[in-house]
Each structure stands twice: as C-alpha cells, then as structure tokens.
C-alpha cells in the first residue's frame, strides 16, 4: 500500500538541482518513486504507507536544499501556489541585494584590471645599498599596488556575493553530486585561487627579478556578477511564468460575508461551512461553490470558461468560487468550500500539469544526468592540452571559460518553462491540461472525433418549428402545449415551456397532469384535455394531411415532431431539435484549415446526426452507436496510423476518451468523462478544441526551439571556450565573455517560453 507525500523544497535553481533531490529521495527507505519540479519548488513522493515524511525532509535538507512537509491535496493548492510565488519574490530581493553589491565592486575591479595587465613590473629594480636586507626582494611597483586593490575588491565580491554558488557546489561535492553551481564554482575558484596564489607569492623572498604570471581577479568577479545577473533575470522571468498560478490564488477572496441570524458577519473564507448563506455584493467575487438562494445578477465566469459574456444567475442556478458578481446582490448557499470548490480543482490541475514532464524532455533529462561530469572532463583535457603546449596561463583562461560557458541551465529550463507558461495561458482560456504528456500528445494529433450532444450541439433541445392546424393561432398552439408541459421533466417539454416564455405566450394552470412514457403528456387546461405527444396518443381520429406532411418533413430533417391536441382535435405540430452551437461550423472549418480530419460519432438517430453534421460542415458521421462502438471507431483510426483526439462530455464517451491518444472532455459534462480525459474544457463547443490544439502545437514548437538552442549553444560554446580556433585566429574567449554567454543563453530560453503568454489573451 502506497501513499502520496509532498515536500516543499527551497534552493533549487535548475534541472540538475532537481535531479540531485530526486536521487536523494529515491535512495530513502520506503520510497517507490519521486518527482521533483524546481520551478514550483515541490517534490511529490510515492512511498509505502506510514513512511516518515519528516525523515525524507531531513535527508533532502542535509543535501543542501531546505525542505519541509507540505500539505497535500486540493485544499492547500491555492495557498501553496501563493507561497511558492512569495518565496520566489523573497529570493529575487535577496539576489537583487547581492547583485547590487557585486556591480558596485565589479565596476572598479574591471577598470583597474584593464589599466594594469601584470602583477609586478617586468623591469629589474636596483637594490638599495642602504637596505641590504631587501636584497633579492622584488620591489612593488604602481602596477603591483593596483593588484592589491583588485584583491581587496574581489575578496568580498567572490566570497560574499558569490557565496550561494560556492555553498551549493560544496554541498553537492559533499554528497558526490555535480550541477550548474559546480561548474560555476570551479570556474570562479580557478580564476580567484590562481590569482590569489600569484598575489601572495609576490610577497615572498625571491632571487633576482622576473615577470610574474597574469592574474584574473576581474574574471572571477565578472563571472560572479554575470551569474547573479542571469539568476536574477531568470528568477524574475520565472515569476512571470507563474502569472496564471498567481492569478488563481488572487481569485480566492480572503473574506466572506456570511448571514448568521439577522446579522451579516465578515469572516475568513476558511471558516465558512457547508450550508452557510454567503452574501455576495456587486463587484465582489463569490467565495464558495453553491446554488443561488436569493437575488438575481449577472456573473462574470471568464476565469473558468474563458467566455467574457456574463452569465445570468437566478435562484437555483449554480455559482462558483472566484467568479465576479457584476450586477445585483446574490445570496449563495455554500455547498462546496475550500478544497472542494471548482477553483481549487482548477488550481490543482494547473499545478500538476506545470510540474509534469513532457516525453520530448526525456532527451534533455538523459543529457543532464551526465552533462556536468562530461564538462569537467573536457575542462581537464583543455588545461592539459594547453599546459602541454607550453602556455598554462592561457590554459587556465580556457579551462575557466569552458566551466562557465557550459552551464546546463538553459537545457534544464527548456521544457518546464514552456509547459508552465502554456498550461497557465490555457487555464486562462478555460482549458485545463492534465500534464506535459497530454500537451505533447495533443500537439501531435491529426484526427479529431467529436461527440454530438454537448460538443457540436448545445445538448439542450429547442423549438425549431411550429405548424398550426387550419384556423388555429400560432400563439394559441404554443400556449396550450406549454401549459400542459409545465409539470413535465422531459427535455422536449422543457424546450416548449422555454419557447413560450421567450415568445411571451401566456400559460394556464394545468390539472390532472399525466405522463405516458414513450407517448406523451396530458392535462386539463382551461377545461379542455390537452395532449402533447405522438399522433396516436394525441388524437382520437386520423391526423390531417397537411400536418402529416409537416411531421414527415420535420423527421426527414432530423427533428423530433409532436402533435398538440385539445379534446382529441389537432391544434398543430411542434418540432424540437438540439440546436447547433454558435461557433460549431466556424470551429470545424478552423480544425480542417489546420490540417486535421474531423469526424462525428453519436448514439442518436442517423437522420438527426446527419443533419447536425451537415450544418456543422462535418463529412464523416457515425450514428446510432453504443459507447463501445465509439471506442472501436477510435481504435480503428489509431490502427490505421492516425493520432486521434476524442471530444465528449458524457458517461458514454468515457471509453472512447480513454482509448484515444488524448481525450478532451467538456467540463460541463459528467465527472467520469473528465477523469478519463487528458484535457478538460470548461466551456461547451468546438472552439475550445481549436484553442487547445493550437496552444499545444505552439508549446511543442517552443520546447523544440528551446532544446535546439540549448544543445546548439553548448555544442558551439564549449569548443570555442576550449580554444579550438586558436590555430586559425589566435583568439580564445575570455572567462568574462563565457559568463555573459551563459547568462544570455538561460534568459533567452525563458523569454522564448514567455511568448506563449499571448494565448492567455482571449
């Protein structure tokens, strides 16, 4: 028996850090598996029941990453995400202080270094005869004095400003692990250590006079400064990638106004209980999920559905936490609070998606596992080659440049930043992606199979046509039918009642209501027996020829037609149809324009399904099929080499959703459908499918760009830093240039991923 544990891990700055934490956790007793995400500062551990979570946290903390248990589950998701963002901002401020000090020290350090190229003058200084005790000592020149200043400036710059880098590398070495900080620390240490030895050596007695090796205090200082700058920019950009997460946290109002007796009290949302009456004033956000008990208003639900048009709310309608009350006062009876709200579920899904890994990232994971050790080998070979050639000074410069330029941070950021930005942007449009694997699968689909009801159509029948009998007024026909259907729960009856309300047709009280399954309903309306149903049920005699022809035409068009009668005489025919969603035809055309094949699968009557497909512009139709039939259709397409996305909203769609390469569930449908899918749409319609696929394709394209950049940067940068061009140009990059390239590479990956934020603007 296993359980899922969560840990809050601080101090991780790259994928190598996450890999180190993963290795530590997987080595602990009772741990089956561990997934670590440095972007969200979270570790998810699958361990045997009863595992000591505090012991796991201690093990990771001893490895150099402060860790503590984190409350798991949806209840703490919003607050936990806010905590992650708050910690990142504290880190940003701390980095900012160190960066500011580094800049203040580095500027004069570089200026002094540029004006003095050697520690000691190459000239021989005459020995002062009056001071024979100085015989054999080199006398300090003005250039020597400048290097004293370089040493003084570089000590606090390297040891205080660069302390986080040095400490992380030391902790990694103690645990026999290596990461980005290892490379930076070795580069900084080599430049500063060599220069310090040369500087101190200048005070030792020495026979004669000779030129002294060059020092590289400025290289160590610039590496620290640029590393801090790069990390500050990365942290700042990463905070921007959490915009959607932070937005979700901010949607949860901290205080709710609850009606207790005759008083209204403002209490923390965490203290609201089921059954409480929550008062939501105009301009306030709803703090809980539940039905409207009193009042009427327009509510902005765009944070859930991506639709900007406010939704009318009346008593009995469902209200959701985080939505904005844009009209009158509403009183909502709390049904789901805290962890149970839809907002908490959305936040949990976004968090889990952002912490997931896409299959495309497997190559980067494999490379990151051995990359640091490979770079250490290249650096050692570089120094050995230059030393063998008789130029150890240049060898030191090239070795430091190799260690610094090979920073694997860009490689580690390539996938998680893109997934984080994309899933956040998708959530803003009412599209919830359950993970990186689903996102990648969605990007690769070439075929979309659509369920009909609730996806292509509204799933809510509406009156399509009314044909009155000779001498009967249209309004009288609708009034009689609506009066009889007022007590009915059948979707056809509800459609007729809604039509009467929309047309302003009056209804009367119905007595002796009776419903006959498969036939129709009857009631006494204004002292007449009104029937609505099949011709055999509604009429005492034959159906008039004009009405019989009308029924045939409506049925041929895929609509359901019922006869309305009074005391056995026909009043007319009303046809009802499931209306096509407003964006269906345009969205299907968009899918086809994007190169996707579109099919529709429905359990409805073939004539009805064919009409809907024609109206939507869908050529391939499968109708009258059972749930297992939909799954077989998906299986057949996959067997033919197609990559299939199945879109549905009902229990009957769940098998096909699970069978497809990626299932897309309409969130207004059944929970079992959402559980079987990899993507959940919070609004009806094919338009969400178009948006989801386009976001997924853009994300995969961005990940590939990031990986190509990261691999290409290292493939070019490492040989250049090692001095491969020396035989042709006698040029090698300085450690300062390597540090700048390292910072630019990481920031470029993050900025490229941030371009995906454009999808958040619906």
Query: What does residue 626 show for φ and ψ, rounded to 5 degrees?
Result: -85, 170
In the chain, what is the greatest distance between 2 CA atoms, to the nearest angstrom?
142
Q: What does 308-372 look like in DSSP terms, one character per residue?
A: -S-EEE-TT-EE-TT-EE-SS-EEEE-SB-GGGSHHHHHHHHHHHHHT---GGGHHHHHHHHHHH
CA distance 45 to 56: 9
d(CA 146, CA 156): 17
- 3-state DSSP of 170-195: HHHHHCCCCCHHHHHHHHHHHHHHHH
With vertex at residue 454, the alpha carbon angle to CA 451 and CA 459, rounded to the nearest 5 degrees, is 125
Which residues are tagged catalytic?
451
426 within 8 A of 625, measured Cβ to Cβ = no
Going across the sheet that includes 255-260, the strands are 263-268, 255-260, 277-280, 330-333, 290-295, 318-319
In whole angstroms, give the CA distance from residue 281 to residue 649. Answer: 33
How many angstroms separate the CA atoms of 21 and 388, rounded?
A: 39
CA-nearest of 117, 72, 363, 349 to 216 is 117
Chain centre distance of CA 512: 56
201: enclosing H helix or E strand: helix 180-201
- 8 Å CB contact between 554 and 538: no
Between CA 581 and CA 459 the distance in angstroms is 9
Residue with tokens 């990771």: 60
Let me know the angle formed at the C-alpha of 303 by 297 and 304, rounded to the nearest 5 degrees: 90
Give the three-class secondary structure for 256: strand
Dihedral sign from CA coordinates of 285, 287, 290, 291 = negative
Place of tokens 């208003």: 297
As a whole number of angstroms, the distance between CA 414 and CA 708 comes to: 9
Find the helix or strand (DSSP H, E) in which 103 lies: helix 77-115
Q: How far is CA 601 from CA 65, 344, 576, 646, in A?
A: 52, 33, 21, 10
Q: Are 603 and 648 in contact (CB under 8 A)?
A: no
Distance of CA 78 to the CA centre of its chain: 14
Q: Which residues of 339-370 are buried (b: 16+ CB within 10 A; e: fewer)?
A: ebbbbbbbbbbbbbbbbbbbebbeebeebbee
Residue among 408, 407, 400 nearest 186 (CA): 400
Q: Are 119 and 198 within 8 A, CB to CB? A: yes
Sign of the torsion formed by the C-alpha atoms of 623, 629, 631 and 635: negative
**Rounded Cα gap, residues 151 and 199, in angstroms:** 8
Q: What is the gyration radius of the CA atoms in the chain, in angstroms?
A: 36
């Amino acid at each position: 028996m296993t359980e899922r544990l969560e840990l809050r891990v601080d101090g991780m700055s790259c994928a190598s850090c996450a890999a180190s934490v993963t290795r530590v956790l997987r080595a602990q007793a009772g741990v089956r598996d561990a997934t670590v995400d440095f972007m969200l500062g979270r570790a998810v551990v699958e361990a045997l029941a009863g595992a000591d979570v505090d012991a796991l946290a201690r093990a990771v903390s001893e490895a150099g990453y402060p860790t503590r248990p984190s409350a798991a589950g949806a209840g703490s998701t919003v607050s936990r995400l806010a905590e992650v963002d708050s910690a990142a901002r504290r880190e940003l401020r701390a980095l900012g202080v160190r960066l500011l000090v580094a800049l203040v020290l580095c500027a004069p350090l570089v200026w002094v270094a540029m004006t003095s190229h050697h520690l000691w003058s190459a000239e021989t200084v005459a020995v002062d005869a009056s001071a024979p005790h100085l015989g054999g000592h080199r006398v300090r020149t003005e250039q020597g004095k400048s290097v004293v200043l370089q040493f003084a400036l570089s000590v606090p710059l390297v040891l205080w400003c660069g302390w986080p880098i040095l400490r992380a590398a030391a902790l990694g070495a103690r645990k026999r692990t290596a990461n980005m900080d290892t490379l930076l620390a070795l580069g900084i240490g080599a430049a500063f250590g060599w220069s310090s030895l040369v500087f101190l050596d200048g005070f030792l007695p020495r026979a004669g006079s000779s030129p002294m090796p060059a020092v590289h205090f400025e290289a160590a200082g610039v590496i620290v400064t640029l590393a801090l700058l790069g990390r500050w920019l990365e942290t700042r950009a990463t905070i921007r990638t959490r915009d959607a997460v932070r937005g979700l946290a901010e949607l949860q109002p901290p205080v709710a106004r609850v009606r207790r007796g005759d008083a209204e009290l403002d209490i923390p949302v965490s203290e609201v209980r089921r059954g409480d009456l929550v008062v939501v004033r105009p301009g306030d956000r709803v703090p809980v999920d539940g039905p409207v008990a009193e009042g009427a208003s327009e509510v902005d639900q765009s944070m859930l559905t991506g639709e900007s048009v406010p939704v009318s709310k009346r008593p009995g309608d469902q209200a959701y936490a985080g939505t904005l009350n844009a009209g009158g006062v509403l009183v909502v009876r709390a049904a789901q609070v805290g962890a149970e709200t839809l907002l908490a579920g959305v936040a949990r899904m976004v968090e889990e998606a952002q912490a997931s890994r896409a299959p495309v990232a497997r190559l980067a994971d494999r490379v990151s596992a051995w990359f640091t050790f490979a770079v250490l080998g290249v650096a050692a070979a570089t120094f050995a080659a230059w030393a063998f050639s008789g130029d150890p000074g240049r060898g030191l410069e090239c070795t430091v440049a190799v260690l610094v330029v090979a920073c694997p941070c860009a490689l580690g950021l390539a996938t998680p930043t893109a997934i984080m930005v994309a899933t956040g942007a998708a959530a803003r449009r009412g599209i919830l992606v359950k993970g990186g694997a689903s996102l990648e699968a969605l990007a690769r689909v070439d075929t979309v199979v659509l369920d009909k009801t609730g996806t292509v159509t509204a799933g809510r029948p509406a009156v399509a046509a009314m044909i009155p009998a000779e001498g009967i007024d249209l309004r009288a026909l609708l009034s009689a039918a609506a009066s009889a259907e007022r007590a009915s729960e059948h979707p056809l009856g509800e459609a007729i009642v809604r039509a009467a309300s929309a047309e302003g047709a009056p209804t009367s009280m119905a007595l002796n209501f009776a419903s006959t399954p498969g036939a129709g309903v009857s009631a006494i309306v204004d002292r007449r027996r009104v029937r609505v149903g099949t011709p055999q049920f509604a009429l005492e005699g034959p159906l008039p020829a004009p009405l019989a022809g009308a029924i045939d035409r409506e049925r041929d068009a895929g609509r359901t037609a019922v006869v309305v009668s009074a005391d056995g005489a026909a009043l007319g025919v009303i046809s009802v149809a499931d209306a096509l969603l407003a964006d269906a035809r345009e969205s299907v055309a968009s899918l086809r324009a994007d190169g996707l094949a579109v099919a529709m699968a429905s359990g409805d009557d073939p004539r009805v399904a064919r009409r809907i497909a024609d109206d939507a512009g869908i050529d391939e139709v499968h109708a009258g099929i059972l749930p297992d039939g939909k799954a077989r259709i998906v299986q057949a397409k996959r067997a033919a080499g197609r990559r299939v996305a199945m879109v549905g909203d009902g229990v009957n769609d769940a098998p096909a959703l699970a069978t497809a390469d990626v299932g897309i569930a309409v969130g207004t449908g059944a929970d079992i459908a959402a559980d079987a899918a990899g993507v959940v749409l919070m609004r009806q319609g094919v338009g969400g499918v178009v948006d989801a696929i386009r976001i997924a394709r853009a994300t995969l394209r961005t990940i590939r760009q990031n990986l190509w950049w990261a691999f290409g940067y290292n493939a070019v940068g490492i040989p250049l830093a090692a001095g491969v061009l020396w035989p042709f140009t006698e040029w090698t990059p300085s450690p300062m240039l390597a540090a700048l390239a390292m910072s630019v590479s990481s920031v470029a990956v993050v900025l490229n991923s941030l371009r995906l934020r454009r999808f958040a603007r619906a």
